[in-house]
């Protein structure tokens, strides 16, 4: 990993607020999103390029790992940190293991730090065994894609071990770093679009959600910018043209090679949505939202909601037991009771008479001292069967993040 930080002592609470304003002013000048929530915050520099901010106990630290994004991102962070220091009056010091600000030698940090890092990364990926599965740079807290053998889940799609054997490091850096040069070149815009296509895009389902529509527009903008900068660069043109049709937008990219080959987009398939330690198997193109501690997953079509799933978790100091007052119903249409991998699942289905849904399911999943409670409304029995598939595939996985990341 390659880290850079900006840190120092903040003497008073008034100075803390002054520093937040100092950071905010610089971010606004650079058209960069900065958010604070209490004592912690984030600066969103580019896709996957996020600076963590913590101002607490009279100490401030802004830090990021630039190895995941590329040398161009590292330089951009250095410049941003310099501007924050110059904005004053709160003084913080920059700690950069690459020492870029000592000589501003981009080729040096590129070769000595980022290219050598990518070389080790390719060696690590290519050495995976047939049964190995892993994630890399996957900080998405909302869902986890389905794993594939001998491959790595990344924000830029699956990386397969066979693709990494004897791969030239320069080619790998263009392909897997989002920001590989000082300037935002065509590869930057293409790779930025690919992150959104793989991780966020709902494709045809984008029309049912304002946020998804905004993501689709930003993908098209980025790909058109990439094409403007390099007319020969291969792009995900099939996906671009599909989104243009969804958005009723003129198509501006035609005669370029398709990149990458194969299907693009984790959310075209089922994924595991993450709720605490629970992993909930459901349609990747569901619309996900939160209300307090409740997560909602909604599957929609053009006319109505097909499945609405509200999920809440509970934890106890002792082993959990079922809340039978919700499960004992004499008018039930179906009941489920099974155990799988130490998870005990009970559910009850009954009719619901409203204008949108016809069926209501209440389910409880228990493992040790934790319970997952699900209240689900679905439009007919075919969608009820899909909810049963979700229940049959629910998992609880307790792990530290480092245990699933590829170590370099």
pLDDT of 139 reads: 82
Q: Alpha-carbon distance 15 to 11, whole Å?
A: 6
Summarised one tens digit per residue, pLDDT across range 170-220 is 999 999 999 999 999 999 999 999 999 999 999 999 998 899 999 999 999
Contacting residues for 138 by C-beta, under 8 A, at least 6 apart: 144, 153, 154, 155, 404, 405
Burial class of 171 by CB neighbour count within 10 A (0 to 12, 13 to 18, 19+):
exposed
Which has more confidence, 332 or 270?
270
Torsion over CA: 53, 55, 57, 61 (sign): positive
pLDDT of 43 reads: 97
Summarised one tens digit per residue, pLDDT across range 123-163 is 999 998 888 888 998 887 789 999 998 899 999 999 999 99
287 SS3 class: strand
Considering only CA atoms, which of 396, 382, 394, 197 is closest in space to residue 299? Answer: 382
Q: Alpha-carbon distance 312 to 325, whole Å?
A: 17
Secondary structure element (H or E) that encloses residue 260, with its range: none
Burial class of 57 by CB neighbour count within 10 A (0 to 12, 13 to 18, 19+):
exposed
The architecture in CATH of the region 3-101 reads 2-Layer Sandwich (3.30)
pLDDT of 355 reads: 65
- Altogether, the residues listed in the chain come to a count of 408
Q: Alpha-carbon distance 132 to 158, whole Å?
A: 13
Q: Kindly give the pairing relationship between strand 287-291 and strand 294-300.
A: antiparallel
pLDDT of 400 reads: 46
CA 326 to chain centre: 34
DSSP per-residue letters across 292-360: TTEEEEEEE-SSSEEEEEEEEEEE-SS-----GGGT--TT-SEEEEEEETTEEEEEEEEE--SSS-SEE
pLDDT above 90 covers what percent of the chain? 76
Considering only CA atoms, which of 173, 146, 139 is closest in space to residue 263? Answer: 146
Tokens of 229: 């900068």
Which has more confidence, 403 or 99?
99
Q: Alpha-carbon distance 68 to 178, whole Å?
A: 8
**Beta carbons of 283 and 301 less than 8 angstroms apart:** no
Query: Across-strand partners of 4?
Result: 64, 96
Please count the other Cβ atoms lying within 10 Å of the Cβ belonging to residue 12.
Answer: 9
Secondary structure element (H or E) that encloses residue 180, with its range: none
pLDDT of 370 reads: 93
Summarised one tens digit per residue, pLDDT across range 185-194 is 999 999 999 9
Across residues 64-89, what is the average pLDDT?
95
Using the predicted structure, report yes or no on whether residue 3 has a pLDDT greater than 90.
Answer: yes
**Beta carbons of 393 and 317 less than 8 angstroms apart:** no
pLDDT of 402 reads: 35
Q: What is the dihedral of CA 51, 54, 55, 57, to 10 degrees?
A: -150
Across residues 278-288, what is the average pLDDT?
95
pLDDT of 244 reads: 97
Contacting residues for 12 by C-beta, under 8 A, at least 6 apart: 58
Please give the CATH number for the structural domain made up of 269-396: 3.40.1000.10
Using the predicted structure, report yes or no on whether residue 406 has a pLDDT greater than 80.
Answer: no
CA-based radius of gyration for the chain: 24
Using the predicted structure, report yes or no on whether residue 83 has a pLDDT greater than 50.
Answer: yes
Tokens of 238: 């099939």
Enumerate the domain spans of the chain.
3-101, 109-247, 269-396
């Amino acid at each position: 990993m390659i880290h850079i930080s900006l840190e120092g002592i903040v003497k008073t609470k008034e100075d803390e607020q002054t520093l937040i304003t100092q950071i905010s002013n610089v971010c606004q000048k650079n058209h960069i999103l900065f958010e604070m929530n209490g004592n912690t915050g984030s600066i969103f520099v580019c896709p996957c390029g996020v600076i963590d901010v913590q101002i607490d106990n009279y100490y401030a630290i802004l830090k990021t790992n630039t190895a995941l994004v590329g040398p161009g991102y590292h330089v951009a962070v250095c410049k941003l940190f310099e501007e924050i220091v110059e904005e004053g009056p709160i003084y913080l010091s920059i700690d950069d293991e690459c020492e870029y600000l000592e000589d501003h030698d981009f080729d040096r940090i590129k070769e000595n730090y980022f290219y050598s890092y990518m070389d080790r990364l390719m060696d690590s990926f290519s050495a995976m065994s047939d049964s190995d599965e892993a994630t890399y740079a996957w900080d998405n807290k909302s869902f986890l894609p389905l794993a594939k053998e001998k491959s790595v889940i990344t924000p830029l799609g699956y990386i397969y071990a066979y693709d990494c054997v004897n791969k030239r490091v320069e080619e790998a850096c263009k392909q897997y770093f989002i920001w590989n040069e000082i300037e935002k070149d065509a590869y930057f815009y293409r790779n930025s679009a690919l992150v959104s296509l793989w991780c966020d895009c709902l494709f045809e389902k984008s029309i049912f959600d304002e946020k998804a529509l905004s993501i689709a527009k930003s993908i098209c903008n980025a790909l058109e910018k990439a094409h403007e900068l390099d007319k020969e660069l291969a792009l995900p043109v099939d996906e671009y043209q599909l989104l243009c049709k969804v958005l009723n937008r003129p198509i501006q990219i035609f005669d370029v090679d398709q990149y990458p080959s194969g299907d693009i987009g984790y959310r075209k398939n089922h994924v595991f949505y993450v709720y605490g330690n629970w992993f909930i198997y459901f349609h990747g193109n569901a619309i996900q939202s939160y209300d307090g501690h409740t997560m909602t997953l909604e599957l929609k079509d053009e006319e109505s909601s097909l499945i609405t799933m509200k999920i809440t978790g509970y934890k106890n100091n002792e082993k959990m037991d079922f809340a039978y007052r919700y499960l004992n119903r004499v008018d039930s249409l179906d009941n489920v009771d099974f155990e799988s991998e130490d998870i005990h699942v009970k559910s009850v289905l009954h009719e619901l008479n409203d204008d949108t849904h016809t069926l209501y399911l209440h389910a409880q999943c228990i493992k040790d001292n934790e319970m997952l409670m699900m209240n689900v409304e679905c439009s007919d029995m075919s969608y009820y069967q899909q909810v049963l598939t979700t229940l049959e595939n629910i998992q609880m996985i307790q792990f530290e993040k480092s245990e699933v990341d590829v170590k370099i």
